[in-house]
Amino acid sequence: MNLMIDELLGIDGDTLRPPSGWGNMWGATFGGYVAAVMLQSFERNAPEGQSVAGAHIAFARPLRTEPEARLVVDVHHRGRSGAAFSGRIDQGDATTTAGIAWATVEADQPSRVEVSPPDVGPPEAYERNVSRGGENTFVDRDFDMRRVPTPEDGTLMLQWMRLTRLRVEDGESWPVAALGLVADMVGAGQYRAAQLTAGEKYGALSLDLTIHVAAIPRGPWLLGVFENLALDRGRTIGRGLLYDQHGTFAASLTQQSLVRAIR
């Protein structure tokens, strides 16, 4: 099944109707879905010729699968080189998510990139991950994720990722919003840190997510490099880098999460 990004996310104008399957057993959607919705809201309000270059998204409360929600975007600056926005997702009488973003126009200038992808095999060299228990139906439905082996005593996680229902062919560009869906995977390193430090009965609860886009990746595969930077005072900071299948550095990610006992 090949869907366009608005259809995949359930966006209809300023109304959001989370499609079936994006929620967990408690009826809340996962952070990557929320981030994708916010990015798409900003992208749709960007001036012609501009695209979202960075966004900071704060998760105030869970976005439920019901009832429908409202997308609100305010444009604070609109210029020839860039535009600045703030936005939120309102559901019922509460705001679930808030964010700020910049969109910019590409400049024809020399480039310099200080990072490079790790030396790993192609996606087909690794087995597809299968979720345990079937609680989060979107994991197996919407993602083809293939973990690259890393040391078990560290927080570095390497993973090939592909969106199974989004229309991205070889050589085609990813929609910026789709980066939000995979950006939440930065939590893998944070979760590993919580398990190694506090024990298996602890997990990480996302507070916010920052995405900076260096280059629009060309799909369908992305390589995620995720690690935890620090865990202290019940909080953990994770960092991620995304590369497309051709080795192009696409985006950097930072996420802060609370570490709490799983009940």
pLDDT (tens digit per residue) in 154-197: 999 999 999 999 878 888 999 999 999 999 899 889 888 888 88
* pTM of this structure: 0.93
Beta bridge partners of residue 90, listed in sequence order: 70, 95
Domain segments of the chain: what residues?
5-105+128-261
The pLDDT of residue 25 = 65
Q: What is the pLDDT of residues 66-106, one digit of tens each?
A: 899 999 999 999 999 999 999 999 999 999 999 999 999 98
Res 19 pLDDT > 70 = yes
The CATH code that applies to domain 5-105+128-261 is 2.40.160.210
Tokens (6 digits) for 99: 């964010």
Q: What is the pLDDT of residues 105-148, one digit of tens each?
A: 988 888 889 999 999 999 999 999 887 655 556 788 899 999 99
Res 200 pLDDT > 80 = no
Q: What is the pLDDT of residues 27-42, one digit of tens each?
A: 788 899 999 999 999 9
Which residue has tokens 């087909």?
Answer: 124
